[in-house]
Structure 1
Amino acid sequence: FVEKDRTVSIAFYDPALKAQPVAAQIITATAEAPTGKVKLEFEKKGDLLVSKTPLPEGEHYLVVVQVKTDAEAKSKNFRIPLDLNLCKPCGNAEYACICDE
């Protein structure tokens, strides 16, 4: 999730959606902002991985997140359009909307 200070917090869940502690997961992210690409590095804070720096100003750009379960695993890529407007039905920011639409 994007926090109020524009840092990014990442949590991990099991198939039953129970929160899991950070273990050997490796996260990298690149914000493809209009002002240029910015790489985000993450550090462990409690049960979350939190970006060391905030996202660039603005929105409506892609954030590419690469997730590896451990150093040996193949990475999975996620391209997330950054839209911070609130979805009225679910109340989440549009990038995290859980509605069926």
Structure 2
Amino acid sequence: MATSSAAIIKAAKDNDLRERFIALAAEQGIDNPHGFIDSKLQQLASAKVGAGEDTIASVYEYADAIYNQELSKLTPPGKNPAAVTDEHIRYALNVLRSE
């Protein structure tokens, strides 16, 4: 899979991924893992992940697309009338008004 510059940038800016890079660099005994990773984030994001064409950024981009598809299926609690019903709100309002 071809890796776009946008995918490389997005993967390189993901702090959770950066922390994982640092942890695994430390595990491998790399001196100053924070400095090493921070100086190579773009290179790491564009690095291949196996014998094929996939890179960190391309597999990240795929996972991000799946995540966003699933996230789009969710309704935030405040907008979800099945979570906080109108009856809940009416009851709470009546309680406050009667105080």
Normalised by the length of structure 2, the TM-score is: 0.21
> Relative CO higher for 1 or 2, CA cutoff 8 Å, sep ≥ 6?
2
More strand by share: 1
More helix by share: 2
Normalised by the length of structure 1, the TM-score is: 0.21
Larger Rg: 2
